[in-house]
A = this chain, B = another copy of it.
Amino acid sequence: MTGRRRQIQLTPLVEAQRLFFDAVEQLGFFAAQEEALPVREALGRVTSRPHRAARPVPHYRSAAMDGIAVCADRTRAASPSSPTTLRAPQDFAWVNTGDPISEPFDAVMMIEQVTEVEADVVQISQPVTPGKHVRSVGEDFHNEEIIAPAHYRITPEAIAALLNGAVYSVWVKRRPRAIYIPTGSELAPPEQTLQPGQIAETNSSIVAGYLTCWGCQVDVGSCLPNDQDRLKAILEEASAQFDLVLVGGGTSMGRDDLTPMLVADVGRVIVHGVAYHPGHPLLLGCVHNTPVIGLPGYPVAVWISLRLFLKPMLERYWGLPLEPAVYVEGRLAEPIKSVGGAVEFVRVRLEPDGDGWRVFKLPGGASRLSSLLRAHGLLEIPADVESLPAGTPVQVLLLRPPA
């Protein structure tokens, strides 16, 4: 049992994030690789290059309104007291929105302003200016004009614009390939009948779910028992095949917590132990040029760790925020004690209270998924705060609508 009492030296959260992101940058993780995709399959992806129109949009001069195409010059004298009579085909042509405007016509008079006298004869009682209600060639995008710049998230309307501009294939940042490797002899598939001491391996659903939402392609490895040699071999193999390796469990200081030692052995430990709660026994390292993250075992700690390290890392990769951070103002319904010495992330429930919200801490520690499922928001308590009295005004990061 020797060595059991080693404690992890905790690095302050902001310092750990800085050290890790700096290291990840040096590993080249943020130098996005790209791939070409058919534009119709690129919804939600992020461009790696600017894309320019290969034809003007619109590609021909067209009517922007239903009405008649005219020569503006011929309408100059029209007034209510002295309407101008126009005859087709020499003076005007009926046009619907989108119809080509051919020479010599240079303007469209709206249907509402046209009085039909007889077939092919109309009267107008006001003039139009040249170009009025005419879409000129390239008025939306000139030929060669940038439709979507680099680092642009492809929306449905961007697909429509690119197709209009005859851009059929787009260069987008490649999705990082990530693998999650659950470790621990106690883990078992949740689908089986569990014996005492067997823990359902479900952290992979949390890791794979969020990393997928944040744009990664995610593999989940099979559960690894606490076997030093196998874990080491798999760590080396995974770091050669993937852009990002996550190992579940084994990061603390217990009997079977092998991950930090193995990462140090085949790669480099950047930070082990970060001052936030729940989640502190986090391991940040690399093997070859691949970031390797050792996640804690408790699901809430996994969830917080993903938000604190993987989300900002992937936001930097994509060059975009992955979700808007919406904060609401509330007041603590009850006093809250914090761990102190570490940033604490408290899952809270919100109840309407006039213009704002009453904020209730949800019961339970890092092990309780219920505290996440029932949370409306997340309250961050700084490391130097050990308690907050009832009534304290707080900003709560909204996780789901509190209705």
Contacts and interface: CB of A to CB of B under 8 A. Distances in A.
B191 A168 contact: yes
Contacts of A255: 66, 94, 96
Nearest to A102: B196
Contact of A163 (B119, B135, B200): B200
Interface string A150-177: 0001011111110110101000000000
A261 interface: no
B200 A164 contact: yes
Nearest to A190: B163
Given A111-B4, A147-B373, A209 B43 contact: yes
A351 interface: no
Interface in A103-150: 111-112, 114, 116, 119, 135, 139-141, 147-148
Tally of this chain's copies? 2
Interface of A is mostly: loop
Given A5-B111, A254-B97, A297-B97, A160 B365 contact: no
24 contacts: A1-B94, A1-B119, A2-B116, A5-B114, A7-B112, A58-B367, A98-B186, A99-B186, A111-B253, A135-B367, A139-B364, A153-B400, A156-B208, A157-B373, A159-B209, A160-B206, A161-B369, A161-B370, A161-B373, A164-B200, A166-B190, A321-B401, A324-B326, A324-B398
Interface of A: 1-2, 4-5, 7, 40, 43, 55, 57-62, 64, 66, 94, 96-100, 111-112, 114, 116, 119, 135, 139-141, 147-148, 153, 155-161, 163-164, 166, 168, 184, 186, 190-191, 194, 196-197, 199-200, 202-203, 205-210, 212-213, 252-256, 297, 299, 303, 320-321, 324, 326, 364-365, 367-370, 372-373, 398, 400-401
